[in-house]
Amino acid sequence: MGSTSFQAPTGTRDFYPIELARRRYIERAWRAVSVRHGFEEIDGPTFESIDLYKAKSGEGIVSEIFHVHSGKDERSRAGAEQGGAREAPFALRPEFTPTLARMYASRAAQLPRPCKWFWQQSCFRAERPQRGRLREFMQWNCDIIGDGSPAADAEAIGVCVGLLEELGLTPEHVKVRFNHRGALAAVVSRLGVDEQHMPAAFVLLDRRDRLSDDDLEAMAFEFGITSFDFLRLLKRPRNAQGIDAMAAALPAEVARDAEALLEPLRTVESHLAGSGVGPWCSLDLNVARGLAYYTGMVFEVHEISGAMRAVAGGGRYDNLIETFGGPATPAVGFGMGDVVLSLVLQDKGLMPGDREIARALGLRPDVQVISNGSPESDALVPAVVGELRRAGVHARRSYKATKNIGKLLKEAADADARYAVIIESASEVTVKNLDDGTQVKAPRADLRAHLSPAR
């Protein structure tokens, strides 16, 4: 075999131990917060039928997914030769929600109500990689399925805020911006936009903080939206947030009904306050979420300056389970990726140092076993290390040739070991506590009694 040089595919990552520890630090927080909020973890296949993704998101998504097919599957190979969108029967998951909907739909009758499920694995997008966006990334989802109450809306936002708080973020760093598609649709409808133009109106609302008034007007014209009142709402100052600001922007004949129209927003707001996450959240008319399937409350988490992509986003999707063959079932959830979150944590100085992360992940060695340099002790190192490991102790030994005990003790300290154990003879060891510097001689048989439990 010849020697070749290979690289990771563009937009994917190699995780050496330090990089993986940083990723695991985030994943550990995702898991801990999910569990603490009463969510149970599920998982599904890494690839699914390509039709599963079309069912939720339409044909558009197909160009942004990775196609998968077996090298020996004749049926799929024949499909591949024809080219086109049906060339591969499978696709790498671009997101988890279709799998979740499929799993719920296929066992709906046996599952508890609500199901509170979380999921954390990698997703894949065949997009051009750029800052904050990769072709393979880690994703965390939390979903409450079978509960249509505003309390569930608030609980979904609550677990998301719980994660932000767990990692040291505060409302000074990030903001949860929420809205309600039902309330928004009612207002927009009263402003003279008909059902047919509603999706276009949501697209315009979603983009209004990135576009100028002129661009918004041109785009509305292109979409065939002619309501002057809607354009006025669209063009009002971008920073005028809150329910009252929204009510104030309505024309007189609509404003009269503002309280009734905006009631779903008031309800979400009061539930957020009631569960203690009010300070993190603010109503934001600009949050409409691009995806067609949201039906009620929607929210996004953004770094406060707004300079980065969303850290997380989600909302209520009451029709999706039915689309996947299940019974009509209300649901609410959100997703958060590791890439933007990591950038925010680094930017705010909240990514701990390597040693602190290793300790948080339980990776700190308990014992470094050292020979006192005699041939007898040298020969005993593997046995002592083996005994400790079999007893559940994280034990290491040196792979260096040196017999200098000072150097070996320094290696133990560099590894952040809690103890160094020096083998003095077949029956005696020295146990040195590397945290406080104390040391004692002990019979080898009593070694474990001299090691305090970690933490």
The tokens describing 199, both together, are 């999706």
Q: How far apart are CA 311 and CA 164, in angstroms?
A: 10
Residue of 148, 158, 313, 330 interacting with a copy of itself (CB under 8 A):
158
Residue of 133, 168, 275, 439 interacting with a copy of itself (CB under 8 A):
275
Least separation in angstroms between residue 418's CB and a copy of itself is 13
Place of tokens 């809150």: 242
Told to check if 154 binds a copy of itself by CB under 8 A, we report yes
Told to check if 346 binds a copy of itself by CB under 8 A, we report no
Of 81 and 214, CB closest to a copy of itself:
81
Of 212 and 270, CB closest to a copy of itself:
270
Residue of 241, 286, 323, 433 interacting with a copy of itself (CB under 8 A):
323
Residue of 199, 290, 306, 325 interacting with a copy of itself (CB under 8 A):
325
Q: Which amino acid is at 216?
A: L
Least separation in angstroms between residue 273's CB and a copy of itself is 9
Burial track 302-315 (b if 16+ CB lie within 10 A, e otherwise): bbeeeebbbbbbbb
* Integer angstrom CA distances of residue 280 from 158, 174, 231, 343, 355: 10, 8, 30, 20, 31
Alpha helices in 327-452 (DSSP H): 338-347, 354-360, 375-390, 405-414
Residue of 199, 279, 386, 443 interacting with a copy of itself (CB under 8 A):
386
Told to check if 105 binds a copy of itself by CB under 8 A, we report yes
Told to check if 277 binds a copy of itself by CB under 8 A, we report yes
CB atoms within 10 A of CB 85: 11
Segment (H or E) for 428: strand 428-433
Told to check if 307 binds a copy of itself by CB under 8 A, we report no
- Of residues 202-261, which lie at the interface with a copy of itself (CB under 8 A)? none
Least separation in angstroms between residue 264's CB and a copy of itself is 18
Q: How far apart are CA 377 and CA 374, in angstroms?
A: 5
Residue of 28, 68, 86, 251 interacting with a copy of itself (CB under 8 A):
68
Least separation in angstroms between residue 114's CB and a copy of itself is 6
Residue 105 class from Cβ within 10 Å (0-12 exposed, 13-18 middle, 19+ buried)?
middle
Q: Are 230 and 193 in contact (CB under 8 A)?
A: yes
CB atoms within 10 A of CB 148: 18
Residue of 28, 132, 133, 162 interacting with a copy of itself (CB under 8 A):
162
Told to check if 294 binds a copy of itself by CB under 8 A, we report no
- Of residues 9-48, which lie at the interface with a copy of itself (CB under 8 A)? 9, 12-17, 20-21, 23-24, 35-38, 40-48
Told to check if 178 binds a copy of itself by CB under 8 A, we report no
Told to check if 66 binds a copy of itself by CB under 8 A, we report yes
Residue of 129, 136, 304, 405 interacting with a copy of itself (CB under 8 A):
136
Query: DSSP secondary-structure letter at 62?
Result: G
Q: Are 53 and 90 in contact (CB under 8 A)?
A: no
User: Which three-class secondary structure string do you get for 370-397?
Assistant: EECCCHHHHHHHHHHHHHHHHCCCCEEE
Residue 2 class from Cβ within 10 Å (0-12 exposed, 13-18 middle, 19+ buried)?
exposed
Of 124 and 230, CB closest to a copy of itself:
124
Of 42 and 211, CB closest to a copy of itself:
42
Residue of 25, 30, 124, 140 interacting with a copy of itself (CB under 8 A):
124
Residue of 22, 190, 271, 289 interacting with a copy of itself (CB under 8 A):
271
Of 15 and 221, CB closest to a copy of itself:
15
Total of chain residues touching a copy of itself, rule CB under 8 A: 105
